[in-house]
C-alpha cells in the first residue's frame, strides 16, 4: 500500500504496508508448466484464476493493514508474465511485437470491489518501446536529488538500473537491464538440487492502500517457500572457485556490448542458457559451489561493467542503491563494492526503501500515473518511442 501526495514529478510516495504472498503450490505447479504444454484453455483459465487470487491477496493485505477496501483508490496489478516478445515474432505476413500478462484486471476490479489498472506493458510495446523497464519513473521520483547523482540498481532474476544525475530532468534518466541478476545463480542451485524449474519473474507482492493504491504481484516467487532454491546470502558461492572459461564465455555474450537503452529477460539468460553453461562446467568437474561462485562473479562483473561502460561516461555516480533479492546476498554485494571501489554501494534499506515492497510500490505508483494521465514510459521515450499511458482501467459497478 502506498500513499501518493503532491503532484508529479514532486510526488511524495509513502509505503503504508507491504506483504508478499506466495502462490499456493498447485498454482505454482500450473505456472511451472512449460509454455509448450499450455493450452489456450489453460491461458484463459489462468487469466481468471490469477485475477481471483490477486483480488483475494489485495483484500487480505488491506485487512492486515487495518484498512477497508473503500480506503483504497486503485489497485495496480502487473500480472504474471507468460511471454514478452518485444523483438517481434513472425505471424503470418507480419512481424508482431507483443507482451502477454495474465491476471485479468476486470476480475480483480470486480472481486476486490476496487478500480484496477492492469496490463502496463502493452501500451509501451504499441508505442514502439520494449515494454520494459517501467520502474525508472518511480526510481526517478523516489531518488532524484539536488545534491547527489544516484544509480538505483535492482537485482531480481534480471538486474536493471536507473541512473539519475543530480537535478536531473526526466529526459536525462538512463535506464536499462544490465543482464543476469539472480537467474543464473538460482538456476544452478535449483538444477543441482534436482529441482527442474521453468521461469518466473520477481515479485508476488501484494501491498498498500490508505487513501492510496494497492499493487499486485509482478510474478510468482518460486523461491520463498522453504526449499533450497537459491544461494542464501551467497553461502555456496563463498566456498566455491571461479571457472574462468565460463566467465569468459558469458562476458563475450553480445548483449553486454550493446549500448543502452536495452532490455533482456529469462528468454536470454534464464534456464536454457544457464543449462548449457552448467553442462560445460560439469564436464570440467566443477562442483555446485563452484558454479554458484562463477555465476555470482559473472553477475557482479556484468553489473559493474555496465555502470563503468554506460553510466560513468555520462554522469558522476555518487552512490549506488541496491534493491531486489540480490541486495540480500552479501557475497554479491561484496563483489560489487570491490569492483566499484570509488563509489559507495548500499542497500535500499539504508535509504528507507524496503526491497520487498519496491516492485509493488512501483506498480501502485504507475497506476496513479495512469489515472493522472501521465505517460510513464520514459525509457522508451528517451529511445524515440511515443509517449504512452500505461495500463487499462477496469472498475467495479
From 72, 127, 132, 173, residue interacting with its own copies (rule: CB under 8 A): 127
**39 contributes a contact to its own copies by CB under 8 A:** yes
Contacting its own copies (CB under 8 A), which of 14, 19, 20, 42? 42
Cα angle, residue 201 at apex, residues 198 and 203 outer, rounded to 5°: 130
In the complex, the smallest distance separating the C-beta of residue 299 from its own copies, rounded to whole angstroms, is 29
CB of 206 to its own copies, least distance (A): 18
- Examine residue 387 and tell whether it contacts its own copies (CB under 8 A): yes
Helices (H), the chain: 25-32, 40-64, 105-112, 120-126, 136-143, 183-192, 235-238, 244-251, 266-269, 271-283, 288-306, 330-339, 355-372, 378-382
Complex with its own copies: residue 353 or 388, whichever CB lies closer: 388
Smaller CB distance to its own copies: residue 353 or 371? 371
**What minimum distance in Å lies between the beta carbon of 365 and its own copies?**
17
- Nine-digit cell string for 201: 519473474
Determine the Cα–Cα distance for residues 170 and 157; give it in Å rounded to an integer. Answer: 26
Minimum separation from the CB atom of position 36 to its own copies (A): 7
Between 222 and 310, name the residue whose CB sits nearer to its own copies.
222
Buried b (16+ CB within 10 A) or exposed e, 338-349: ebbeebebebbe
Nearest to 294 by CA among 322, 331, 321: 331
Inter-residue contact 151 to 169 (CB < 8 Å): no
Binding of its own copies at residue 126 (CB under 8 A)? yes
Q: How far apart are CA 304 and CA 308, in angstroms?
A: 6
The answer to whether residue 146 forms part of the interface with its own copies (CB under 8 A) is no
Residue 24: DSSP 8-state: P
Residue 171 in the binding site for its own copies (CB under 8 A)? no
Tell me if 92 contacts its own copies by CB under 8 A: yes
Q: Which of residues 275-314 bind its own copies (CB under 8 A)?
A: none
CB of 313 to its own copies, least distance (A): 31
> How far is the C-alpha of 167 from the C-alpha of 139, rounded, in Å?
14
The nearest distance, CB 119 to its own copies, in angstroms, is: 6
Q: Which is nearer to its own copies, 19 or 386 (CB)?
A: 386
Write down the least CB distance from residue 181 to its own copies, Å.
Answer: 24
| Three-class DSSP category at 84 | strand
The dihedral of CA 190, 196, 198, 200: what is its sign? Answer: negative
β-bridge pairing 94-102 and 80-91: antiparallel
- Residue numbers of the site for its own copies (CB under 8 A)? 24, 26-27, 29-30, 35-36, 38-49, 51-52, 82-83, 85, 89, 91-94, 96-100, 104-107, 109-111, 118-119, 122-123, 125-127, 373, 375, 386-389, 392-397
Amino acid at each position: 500500500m502506498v500513499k501518493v501526495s503532491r503532484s508529479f514529478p514532486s510526488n511524495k510516495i509513502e509505503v503504508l504496508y507491504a506483504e508478499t504472498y506466495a502462490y499456493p503450490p498447485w498454482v505454482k505447479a500450473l505456472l511451472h508448466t512449460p509454455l509448450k504444454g499450455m493450452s489456450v484453455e489453460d491461458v484463459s483459465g489462468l487469466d481468471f484464476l490469477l485475477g481471483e487470487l490477486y483480488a483475494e491477496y489485495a483484500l487480505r493485505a488491506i485487512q492486515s493493514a487495518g484498512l477497508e477496501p473503500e480506503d483504497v483508490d486503485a489497485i495496480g496489478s502487473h500480472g504474471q508474465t507468460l511471454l514478452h516478445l518485444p523483438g517481434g515474432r513472425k505471424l503470418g505476413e507480419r512481424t508482431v511485437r507483443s507482451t502477454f500478462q495474465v491476471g485479468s484486471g476486470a476480475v480483480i476490479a470486480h472481486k476486490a470491489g476496487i478500480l484496477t489498472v492492469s496490463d502496463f506493458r502493452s501500451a509501451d510495446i504499441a508505442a514502439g518501446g520494449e515494454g520494459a523497464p517501467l520502474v525508472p519513473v518511480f526510481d526517478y521520483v523516489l531518488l532524484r536529488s539536488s545534491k547527489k547523482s544516484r544509480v538505483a540498481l535492482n537485482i531480481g532474476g534480471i538486474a536493471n538500473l536507473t541512473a539519475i544525475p543530480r537535478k536531473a530532468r526526466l529526459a536525462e534518466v538512463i535506464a536499462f537491464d544490465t543482464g543476469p541478476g539472480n537467474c543464473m545463480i538460482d538456476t544452478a542451485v535449483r538444477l543441482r538440487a534436482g529441482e527442474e524449474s521453468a521461469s518466473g519473474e520477481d515479485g508476488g507482492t501484494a501491498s498498500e492502500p490508505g487513501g492510496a493504491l494497492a499493487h499486485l504481484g509482478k510474478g510468482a516467487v518460486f523461491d520463498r517457500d522453504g526449499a533450497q532454491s537459491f544461494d542464501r546470502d551467497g553461502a555456496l558461492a563463498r566456498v566455491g572457485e571461479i571457472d574462468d572459461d565460463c566467465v569468459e564465455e558469458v562476458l563475450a555474450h553480445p548483449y553486454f556490448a550493446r549500448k543502452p537503452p536495452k532490455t533482456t529477460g529469462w528468454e536470454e539468460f534464464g534456464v536454457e542458457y544457464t543449462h548449457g553453461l552448467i553442462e560445460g562446467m560439469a564436464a570440467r568437474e566443477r562442483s555446485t559451489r563452484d558454479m554458484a561462485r562463477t555465476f555470482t562473479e559473472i553477475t557482479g562483473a556484468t553489473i559493474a561493467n555496465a555502470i563503468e561502460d554506460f553510466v560513468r561516461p555520462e554522469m558522476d555516480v555518487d552512490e549506488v542503491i541496491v534493491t531486489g533479492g540480490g541486495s540480500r546476498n552479501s557475497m554479491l554485494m561484496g563483489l560489487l563494492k570491490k569492483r566499484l571501489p570509488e563509489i559507495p554501494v548500499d542497500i535500499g534499506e539504508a535509504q528507507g526503501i524496503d526491497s520487498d515492497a519496491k516492485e509493488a510500490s512501483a506498480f501502485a505508483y504507475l497506476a496513479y500515473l495512469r489515472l493522472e494521465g501521465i505517460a510513464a514510459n520514459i525509457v522508451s521515450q528517451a529511445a524515440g518511442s511515443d509517449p504512452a499511458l500505461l495500463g487499462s482501467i477496469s472498475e467495479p459497478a
